[in-house]
Every structure is written in C-alpha cells, then in structure tokens.
Structure 1
Amino acid sequence: MSAIPQERRVVTAIPGPKSQELQARRLSAVAGGVGSVLPVFTARADGGIIEDVDGNRLIDFGSGIAVTTVGASAEAVVRRASAQLADFTHTCFMVTPYEGYVEVCEALAELTPGDHAKKSALFNSGAEAVENAVKIARAYTKRQAVVVFDHGYHGRTNLTMALTAKNMPYKHGFGPFAPEVYRVPVAYGYRWPSGPDNCGPEAAAQAIDQITKQIGPDNVAAIIIEPVLGEGGFIEPAKGFLPAVARFAKDHGIVFVADEIQSGFCRTGQWFACEDEGIVPDLITTAKGIAGGLPLSAVTGRAEIMDAAHAGGLGGTYGGNPVACAGALGAIETMREQDLNGKAKRIEEVMKGRLSAMAEKFDVIGDIRGRGGMIAIELVKDRATKEPNAEAAGALAKACHAEGVLVLTCGTYGNVLRFLPPLVIGEDLLNEGLDVIETALAGV
C-alpha cells in the first residue's frame, strides 16, 4: 500500500511557486552543467507518483531514468536499508568486509544468464561498472582494443565518454578521450537502408567486417553493447544481430559484455534483456534498477574472467556500500514477490496497444518500439523520409509536464519520447498518463 495517493493532481502551474524559489537557490549554488528535465522539486515519491513541494502529483513515466523500478520508496528496500543504517553505514569492503556484499554477488550469480561459475565486483555507478568491465577484459585477454556501436551510451567518465556515441551533451568539449576504442554499425531496424527484415544479418556482417579489417580480432579485448540501446533511442537490435556478434566474439576469444544498466532487472519483462535471444554474455554490467534508488552497480561474469585482475586491482572506497547492498536485496525481493517481469509484460501490452492506436491518428509517430516497461515512440516530420522531429519530441514532453505527466526524451537525433514507468505502477495511472500523451499529440 502506497503512502502517497496514487492519483494525478495539478494544483499550481508546473513548476509551482515553491519549486521556483528552490530553483532560484539552485541556480546560485549548483553548477550550471548539471541539468534537470523538469525543475519541480520532489517532496515524496512512491508507486507511480512523484509529489512535489507545491503539492502537485505527477504520474512518473521516468523512474529516475529506469532506477526506481520497484517504486521510489518500496517497503522491502526501506526496511532492509533502514536496518542496515542502524547497524553501520560503512566500513569499506576492502578493509573489513560484510555479508551484504557477498549476498548481492550470490544473487547476481543466480539471476544473470548462464549456468557457468560466476563472480561479481560491486561499484557505485553504471559508468564505473563499464569501465571496470574493460579493465577486467583487458587483464584477461592481454589485449587493448574495445569495440562499441553506433547510438550506444555507456557513461560520462573519460573512458566511457569515448565508448559513448553521442557528442551533445555527453562529450562536447571534454576531450581528448581514451584511445583504442572503435565504433561499428548497429542493427537499427527503423533506419536501416534495406529495411528491418534484412537489418540483423546485414548489420552484423558489416560490423564483423569492420572489426576484422580495421582492428583485427586478435587485438580486441571486449565488444560492449546494450541489448536494448537506451540513450540512443530505445533501439532493439534487429533479430539475429546480437547472436551473430556474440558468436564472432566467442570464436575469437573476445570478451562479450552486455551493458544492462538501463535494460536490466525486469525492465524489459525478463531479468535481463539479453535473454530475449538466448545471449549468455561473458560479462554483464548492471546498475540503475539494481538497488531501488540507492547507488550501486556491478560487473558479473565468468569466474575465470572476473579473477583475471590482480588482487587490489578492482575496488573503490564506496563500492558495494552496505546500505546500498541492503537496498539491492530489498529490490530483488520485491521483484520476485510482485512478479515484476510479469508486470513489465503487461505494461508493454497496454502501452503498445494504446500507442499503436495513436499512430493511426497522428502521422508524427514514425515507430513504436521497446519491450516491457522500456517503450518508446520515434517522432518524424514525414513517414516516407523519416526525417527526425526533435521539435515535436520537445513540445510533447513540455505539454505532458504541464499536465502532470513526467516523460523523458532520448535518441541520437533527440526525437524519441521514452517511457520508463515504475513496474509497480497501477494500470489506471498508466492509462491516465497515456490519455495525457494522446491529448498532447493532438496539440502537436
């Protein structure tokens, strides 16, 4: 039972007067490079609702960018984290370890794809997890090159900026970037020249050809890909692409890394998105949904690969913080007990049904895609040319925000509206949010 009424309520302009006061304080104290999608200041959040300091209640279609999968104050997360807070907040696992870290690693070994022996290392953020996956892969293979994909996003540290495809806002003005990073095509079905049916095999052949000719497979330590590309526009690689690339990696002793930071932990209706085509990655990176809103990330993988780094080579002061580990165990408990994979599949059914009906009425919708509670619409100026319509995406988001529905944009071209509701959202709220989106589409 949620502590906050699960209903949309708009009682002031958005943002309201108290949020505007806080925004003025923020502008004088917080660095300008830290942006916000919507400057309403949160007072409480739970289930599918964010309540701001002015008393407005917004339907949450963002989940803090796929973080609050179990809700923003899930009972099991609060209970376990509160108990841990009362015992101790920190000792540093590298100084004196504690059981919670071990328990999270055991859960990851059980939940991630594959029945091989697995080990994990815990960190704070998704970017840290990806960076450590590269370190581990290089230690294991004794190679340097890392292959990533068009439209991919992997973080904001120096190495992960190099791995990330999009310049603005992630990379612009922040170079030089880490070397030995190579980018190849991805199977973006909606925009593939010969159409989505041919996309998977053709894109895989192109990517493999480029790796073979331009880098040399024997120089590649790791191939890193999001099984559903997040910031790049919720792109599902066309069928056949991921298995072909994973096979190529295996044939050449390359560590295949699934970046499941946005797509993992029930978000796509499976524990991990790579399960959809039976992919068993060598390493898998997780964060976001792992701990119910507490900062935690992980690299999990084949024991012999994970053990390649020398003792002391992996770690960090806060990595696997005991309170965050307790939160993760509470989040996993919630996912299991409430069958959030099942709920994600139901969200997909409702959202795709409603969005498909909208696409029949509004030509601005060029594509509907995604899985589970990770759904998007790509907006275009013309369905024939597929020219991206970033202006429509911005206008739609603004219209939804004004009516109390928090939505996010994404995509290499800035023209994708993405939906990431908490998987515990009520179906009435889900449909009400879609009603607001439909009205906004009519306005655009």
Structure 2
Amino acid sequence: MTDVDPEASRRAYELDRAHVFHSWVAQGPHRPMVVARAEGSYLWDGEGRRLLDFSSQLVNTNIGHQHPRVVAAIQEQAALLCTVAPQHANAARSEAARLVVERAPEGLGKVFFTNGGADANEHAVRMARLHTGRPKVLTTYRSYHGGTQTAINLTGDPRRWANDTASAGVVHVQGPFLYRSPFWATTEEEESARALEHLEQVVALEGPSTIAAVLLETVPGTAGIMLPPPGYLAGVRELCHRHGILLVLDEVMAGFGRTGAWFARDHWGVVPDLMTFAKGVNSGYVPLGGVLIGDHVAATFDERPYPGGLTYSGHPLACAAAVATITAMADEGVVENAARVGAEVLGPGLAELAERHPVVGEVRGLGVFWALELVRDRGTREALAPYGGSSAEMGALVAVCKERGLLPFTNGGRLHVVPPCTVSDAEAKEGLGILDEALAVVDAML
C-alpha cells in the first residue's frame, strides 16, 4: 500500500502531455512515467508501483531520495532567506564553498557557483580562455559536458550532432577505451601510452600556444563509465603543464561519492587547474553546480573583473541543501558505503552476471558507478544498439526491469548500474537479481 493518488497522477500526466516540452525526445510519441513520490533508494510511479532506483534519476541522487536532513535544511533556509542577489554574501553559500573546498585537492581554493553542470563547464572554459589568452579547448569523443551552447559543442557523444555549429575553438580527440580501442591496443598500458601519444600529436598539430585547456570527464559518465587506464591522467597533467595548457576535470557526474571517493580524481591523485561539479553536491534537491578554481587562475581576476555571472549563483536554498548533503555524507559514511558496496556487492555481482549472460561483453566501474557493455556477439563485440540509438532488445531490457520493480539507466547499447551512494547491500542484491532476470530475456532474443 502507498499513499499515491491515481487521480492526481492521471491529471499530472494529462497536463504534462498538454503543456510540458521534454528534453532529448520527439514530443509526440513520448509517454513519460509519472513519479508520485520517492524515499531512499525507491520511488513510486503514478499507479503506486514501487521501483528500485538504479538510475539515481540522472545519476545525481547520491544521498538517496528525501533524505530528512537535507529536506529539513531546505525548509529551515526557506523560512530564513529564500533568495539573495549573488553580489551579497550569505551564510549558506559561504559554508557550502568551505565544505566543497575542504574536499578538493590543495590549491583549488575558490568556488564559482552555477545552476548546474553545463554552465559550470561553460564558465570553466571561459576562465581558461581568459587566463591563458588562448582560444582552443580539447575534449574527447565519448563525453558529455552539458546541453548549453558551448557545453554541447564540447560534448563528444551523438547529442552534439544536431546542435553542432562547429563552434570555433573546440577540438575533439580520441580518449582511452580499451574495449573499443581506436589505437589497436591489447593492454591497458598500451591504451594509455597510445592515447597520450595521440593527444600529444593533436596538441602539436593544433599549436600548443593556441590551446587554453584540455577538458576531460575524470571518469566519463553517460558515455560509458570508462575508467582511465594507469598513467593516463598523470600523462595529460604533465602534457598540459609542459605547454601552459590548463587541465579542467569535469566531475559533474563522478563527484561527491559516486566512485567511492569525494572526487573521482582522488583515485589517481591528479590535481587539475579547474574542476567542475554539480549533481551529487546536493543530490539535485535544488539545482546547483560550480567551478573549483585553482589559486593561480583565481589570481587572474584579483584586479580584473570576471566577465560572467548568474542571477542564482550560490542560491541560498541550493547551498543549504549542499551543506546538509555534504555534512550528512560525512557523518553517515556515505562515501565509504559507496566504495564498500561497489567492491563487495556490485562489482562481484555484476561479474557473475557477465559469466552467466552472453549478452554482457564487459563490466567496468567502481563505487556505485558501473556499466555493462551489451553485445550481440562477444567475438565481434557488435553493440546491442547503435551508438546513440536503441534497439528492440534494449527496449525489452528496460520493460522487464520495470515490470520486476527496477528503474534502470541505459544509453545506446549499455546498461549503467548507478544506484544512490546510500544503497544497502540488500537493495543492491535485489537490483542484481532483477537484472539477472532481464538479461536472461535479452539472451533469449539473440
């Protein structure tokens, strides 16, 4: 039994279809699921069906749904100060900045708050260009940096294509991805070395003195959760330093516990010049993102005005949610839980699924950030769906998951396993059991 009101859900659906314009889909055939309520690792649809959220929505509800400490903080802040212009200081923003900087690598001492990840990347690129006086930014294919104009041109997945104005200054390179290696590599070491050699060649051909920044997702998210091979990030860091190029790490999805560390870069010890974040900083309870700024970059604007701003930069409700989220994560061992569940439950459990199901070509990830590469044939590695597209088999996979009580996250021919960082062992095992059943259905279709 739930307290979901079917009539209210029906009206929500009808009004949505009448008046809401949705992102990334054709509007006519779209049939959105009504989400009536949520709590912890679960949500309830408009019919009262409970679903285990293995998507964390858009991989952002890191602290789970309706965490009482975060909800209370928003309520308390709303009673005190709902909004304030960004030129003024306010306690919520000041404390949120302190807590974020405290978890960042040494030398990134300032935060510019934004409304989300896309504009965080927009501003990081703007800062890099102004700091260096150079126009170009290098990013990888198989990446996603946001849907705003600069961010979508920086993106390296198919969502860029229809939006791509070939904006001057963005150059895409091949990043490391051993399973589908563009470098004919057979080991992680070969992939790392050859990807670095390729990047160095592009830098030389584009002209190091024209390049402001290299922008990388520390661990690419929706593009495939490809962990950087040993030595790659350190090699990029060295290359950037040698040529006076800024290294910008996009931690929008990978940050705040998702990989079992406060930031994904913690696993490799690389210190960027700029680092962007959003999503998990307050689990998306109120929109918030930001740029962590290296002290040397921030100094550029000590006497020179920064030409950028946002009406809602450091919005009090969003920052109060961030303060409560970070504090609760620290007090409750949420980051440690993500690391442990990944190592002890999800990692081994997904490996077992790969042994049983021929459709699984590869399992990769860490923490609560995993991807299953689904293939029609393990030998040829033909994807179960085209790059950026879908297929009948992927549609069946999603349908079976929902029928069994699981909300999955899929992209192209991949299944991502990205529950909240607060997920329990029992919930993780419940999800793995449902995925086992769904993958069996897909196996039978091939």
TM-score for the superposition, normalised by structure 1: 0.91
Per-residue CA shift, 1:41-89, capped at 9, x if unaligned? 2222121111223221110111121211111211221121111100121
Is 1:360–2:360 an aligned residue pair?
A: no
Partners of 1:426 and 1:118 in 2: CA distance: 34
Structure 2: segments with no counterpart, 5+ residues: 386-390
The reply to whether residue 341 of structure 1 matches residue 308 of structure 2 is no
Q: What is residue 116 of structure 2 aligned with on the other side?
A: 125
Q: Is the 8 A contact 2:347 2:366 kept in 1?
A: no
2:89 is equivalent to residue 97 of structure 1: yes
Aligned to 1:376: 371
> Deviation at 1:97?
2.2
The equivalent residue for 2:12 is 22
For residues 171 and 28 of structure 1, what CA distance do their matches in structure 2 show?
28
Work out which of the residue numbers 95, 102, 107 in structure 2 matches 1:110. Answer: 102
SS in 2 for 1:261: coil
Structure 1 position 20, deviation (Å): 5.7
Query: Where does the alignment leave 5 or more consecutive residues of structure 1 unmatched?
Result: none
Deviation at 1:304, TM superposition (A): 2.4
SS at match of 1:285: strand
CA distance in 1, matches of 2:82, 2:22: 31
Letter in 1 for 2:203: I
**Matching of residues 25-424 of structure 1 within 5 Å:** 25-33=15-23, 35=25, 39-94=32-87, 96-113=88-105, 115-116=106-107, 118-167=109-158, 170-192=159-181, 193-197=184-188, 198-213=190-205, 215-293=206-284, 294-309=286-301, 310-349=304-343, 350-390=345-385, 391=391, 392-410=393-411, 414-424=412-422
Q: Distance in 2 between matches of 1:393 and 1:339?
A: 35
* TM-superposed deviation, 1:308: 2.4
Asked if 2 retains the 8 angstrom alpha-carbon contact of 1:48 and 1:60, the reply is yes
Post-superposition offset of 1:194: 2.0
Whether the aligned pair in 2 keeps the contact of 1:399 and 1:440 (CA below 8 Å) is yes
Q: Show CA shifts across 1:193-249 (max 9, x none).
A: 222331111111111111212x11111111100011012111112221111111100
* SS of residue matched to 1:308: helix
Shift of 1:346: 2.1
The change in CA–CA distance for 1:17 and 1:400 in structure 2 (over 3 A counts) is: farther
**Aligned partners of 1:308 and 1:295: how far apart in 2?**
28
Distance 2:308 2:80 in 1: 26
- Assess if the C-alpha contact under 8 Å between 1:348 and 1:373 holds in 2: yes
- C-alpha separation between the residues in 1 aligned to 2:81 and 2:102? 27
Change beyond 3 A, Cα 1:112–1:374: same
CA contact (8 A) 1:379 1:393 kept: no
Give the secondary structure class of the aligned counterpart of 1:311.
Answer: coil
The question of whether the paired residues in 2 share the 8 Å contact of 1:121 and 1:314 is answered with: no
* Counterpart amino acid of residue 367 in structure 1: E
3-state secondary structure, aligned to 2:291: strand
Aligned length: 425
Distance 1:208 1:42, change over 3 A: same
Q: CA deviation at 1:174?
A: 2.8
Following TM superposition, the consecutive aligned residue runs of length 4 or more in structure 1 with deviations greater than 6 angstroms are none
d(CA) in 1 for partners of 2:23, 2:408: 21
Please give the per-residue CA displacement for 1:149-202, whole angstroms capped at 9, x wherever unaligned: 1101101111111101122xx234334243110011101011112223311111
Instruction: Decide whether the 8 Å contact of 1:76 with 1:333 is kept in 2.
Output: no
SS at match of 1:313: coil
CA contact (8 A) 2:341 2:424 kept: no
Describe the superposition over 1:320-354 as per-residue Cα deviations: whole angstroms up to 9, x where unpaired.
10010000000101110111221111221211211
- 1:68-126 deviations in whole A, cap 9, x for unaligned? 111121122112111110012111122x321211211111221012x226111101010
The Cα of 1:261 is off from its aligned counterpart by: 0.2
Residue pair 1:258, 1:284 contacting (<8 A) in 2 also: yes
Measured in 2, the distance between the counterparts of 1:306 and 1:396 equals: 48
- CA deviation map 1:289-344 (0-9, x unaligned): 01132101010021220242443523210111001000000010111011122111
Q: 1:222 to 1:124 in 2, by over 3 A?
A: same
Distance in 2 of aligned mates of 1:76 and 1:144 = 44
CA–CA separation in structure 1 for the residues paired with 2:429 and 2:119? 37
Cα contact 2:154–2:170 (8 A) shared by 1: yes
Q: Percent identity at matched positions?
A: 32
- The answer to whether the 8 A contact 2:178-2:185 is kept is no
> Is this contact kept in 1: 2:256–2:281, CA < 8 A?
yes
Question: Displacement of 1:426 after TM fit?
Answer: 2.1
SS in 1 for 2:37: strand
How far residue 432 of structure 1 moved from its aligned partner, in angstroms, is 0.9
CA distance in 2: counterparts of 1:261 and 1:117, whole angstroms: 16
Per-residue deviation, 1:429: 1.6
The amino acid across from 2:20 in the alignment is V
Letter in 1 for 2:55: G
Tell me the SS of whatever aligns to 1:279.
coil
CA distance in 2, matches of 1:63, 1:346: 18
Corresponding residue SS for 1:378: strand
SS at match of 2:192: helix
